[in-house]
Structure 1
């Protein structure tokens, strides 16, 4: 059975101080729980080092929200994988739709970042997702598989089995709209089947697939109960202690 993974993407929210308060609150609850799921928080870059310090010897791992694929160089404003590993980061979100839309990320750069992340022992959380127009025109599955095809070029199956795919329908991110459990499962199953067609059964069965898009406490258990959904990439709800803890509890119930 695949171990569920809940990751909180804080986006450009919070300071070192407010992030510390959040993590301390998460720690105070999670330390008394026997977890059967993985938990990750992805703060802004300025708060990462403090987050790593606060989560040391706890059940929480720390991820970054993006990175450059170069180790170093004249890339003003970018963060390299070496910088992330130096401060103790374990995961990195790659190809989020907001990065694609606002900062020009492509399937090619996503592919380069996946390779760089693995080279530096970072676990990539690779985002895919369709727009409302693509869904309504019936192109969801074609779009998702094309993103995966580009992202996984020359990535060996040993690495693919370790990465995490986050299905995030763009029309459900921060809108309050959520894909139904059936809609989310349909796409997550297609993702697994497509990976199976690219690699093999063992690789496809090992890949953990998250759903992301207005996940909250009231819908988490239903979504996470689907057979091909192995966790959630949580946005706004990861900034609210009770909400995020309830989502973790739902995953814990599924993973037990």
Structure 2
């Protein structure tokens, strides 16, 4: 899957719009090489967000704790009002969206797509700056720092792109997507601090299929509504999820539910994704 395609999914997280003043005459400050099937390195990702934060007062790059790789976990925040305090943002009635990237650095599309998304919003490309009117967007550039630093052309041999990517395991070779409860890693503890402090209204975790091919380039695994309180479950199931599919159907990248292959082959059947405790 080409890196640019996931950007379409990121566009659904913003909830409303208005005119937004830009700082760089609409010129992009970022250079991505997804057309050459290349994904950014960890250092390039952080440098890109530093560049954006240095040039736009409505953006700020924060750090939370130290990961198992010995490097901080960064959080990039875009706020039209230049307010980067989660408490006052909540008091103002703003919606907070948190996007997490690179939990599995071998699935790097979200890393590049989020950089592209942030650059486009901040420079108001095609009016995208208006997305920040009632919404503050928070982006974790790379969650699995150690895995992203461990780049190779042979980690995901079932994927045709990119040329190199990171490793699934973190600096301790632990799967961060299995550590949200037990908190064995410094990464997960830092993430918990971010999540508790910002209390996002919408959380998006970007992944990529592990070599499986789908007719549609964008797939969605929504949280199972039955695991939510009744009122929230009804809103999520009856309004939010259908609206996401409806909006994406009006773009070039119609979205479908993500499915698993039974016995590793679609010929044996497909099933919706089951979400066991992690």
- TM-score between both structures, scaled by the size of structure 2: 0.28
Structure with the largest fraction of helix: 1
| Larger-Rg structure | 2
